[in-house]
Amino acid sequence: MLESTVLMERATDTRTRIGDTRSSVHVSPETGGLPKIAGVLTAHRGEHHVIVLQDFPDPDAIATGYVHQLLSAEYDITADVVYGERISHRQNVALVKLLNIGVKRLDPATDLTQYNAAVFVDNQGTTATRIVAALEKAGVPALIIVDHHELQGRLVPEFSDIRRTGATSTIYTGYLEQGVLELNKSQREHVMAATALMHGILTDTNGYLRADVEDFHAAGYLSRFSDPDLLESIMSQARSKSTMDLIQRALADRVVAESFSIAGIGYLRQEDRDAIPQAADFLLTEENVHTAIVYGIVVGDTRDDERLIGSMRTSKITLDPDEFIKEVFGRDSNGYYFGGGKSSAGGFEIQTGFLAGGTENEYRDLKWQIYDRQIKQRIFDKIGLQQRSSG
């Protein structure tokens, strides 16, 4: 964001930490052995921060946003947790309601100059593009990034902690264990925080199937403070009928080639957007499929608000979703990648631009055919196949 506020040595230090999956947390002697983030919060005591989640936040983002808000309060920092679009997945809605987590959709009319700095958790700005643009316009600097996805290069904050581990919740659990905030099971908000973090780790590691040592260590620590009955209530939410219909559409329209399962599911409402990654998860369970890619055009609140959104899931160890998505879809006119990912999953988002809008069925069908064919062409080119004449 504002170059004058950036400490470049911090940015360099961030890159040296990529891939660090040790259970220890980076500590600073200046803060008595506490993690370095404690020193950053100390230096910004008394400020007003905005904590930015993805446009469509998942459990890992919601949990870490909530916990960062608690940590901020320990340093007399007031913080608002915001997202850009919608919380739609039923488990995510249950997480927010049952734990009474105060996250809110950012109103475009909000005066962002009230904030001294921005904090990004479980994202690096590439999945919250509108909020990032608004913050930049208001002159609000990026202060902190804590994330477990591959380095995206969109923001250069004062402090970053980006690691290859199962969940951002794992990183924040490390902060708690290191003493930035001492959990107490007699305090309800601490139990809520531990339960949310446990849910974040569970979902982002696919029920611990993709967990590493640090994730298991974090879960063990959280188990002393979390509420298992509450966690079970959150996890037991059933899929909606519309989600099941979209998964069925993906199953019917999929193309399987070279162990890739590729499905375009057409137009869908913004509130059904979470069906895309759920469909990708489902397609990955098919025999002889190691990678699933599902995409569709998500229609927003206004007629001209359309974005092509996709999710990628893979069980192939040698396939890097972050690298795959960046090579297939490239960058926008500003030089920013359309997507990225982590070790087993990724996503992409492309504005439909001039072609957005239109209510005539024939026009919408023609537009979808163009995007569907282009997406498949790019994927087939990447995996070395010729485009097929029909689905």
The stretches of 254-320 forming alpha helices (DSSP H) are: 275-283
Kindly report the CATH number assigned to the domain that includes residue 33.
3.90.1640.10
- Look at residue 387 in the predicted model and tell me its pLDDT: 53
Are 208 and 278 contained in the same domain?
A: no
- Claim to verify: residue 291 and residue 314 sit in the same structural domain: yes
Within-domain flag for 153 = yes
C-alpha 273, offset from chain centre = 14
pLDDT tens-digit map of 333-348: 878 788 888 777 888 9
How does DSSP assign 188-215, residue by residue? HHHHHHHHHHHHHHHHHTTTTTT--HHH
Give residue 362's domain range. Answer: 242-383
Separation of alpha carbons 215 and 207, rounded Å: 11
Write the pLDDT tens digit of every residue in 296-352. 998 876 667 788 999 999 999 899 998 999 999 988 887 878 888 877 788 898 888
Is residue 190 situated within a structural domain?
Answer: yes
Calpha distance 200→224 (Å, rounded): 16
pLDDT < 50 positions in the chain: 1-25, 27-30, 389-391
For the record, the structure tokens of 238 come out as 């059933």
**Is residue 391 included in any domain, yes or no?**
no
9, 112: one domain: yes
Cα 381 to Cα 65, 313, 373, 388, distances in angstroms: 39, 19, 12, 11
Based on the structure, what is the number of domains in the chain?
2
Residue type, 91: Q
Q: Residue 250: which CATH number?
A: 3.10.310
The answer to whether residues 221 and 246 belong to one domain is no
Query: What is the greatest pairwise CA distance in the chain?
Result: 66
Q: State whether 222 and 247 are in the same domain.
A: no
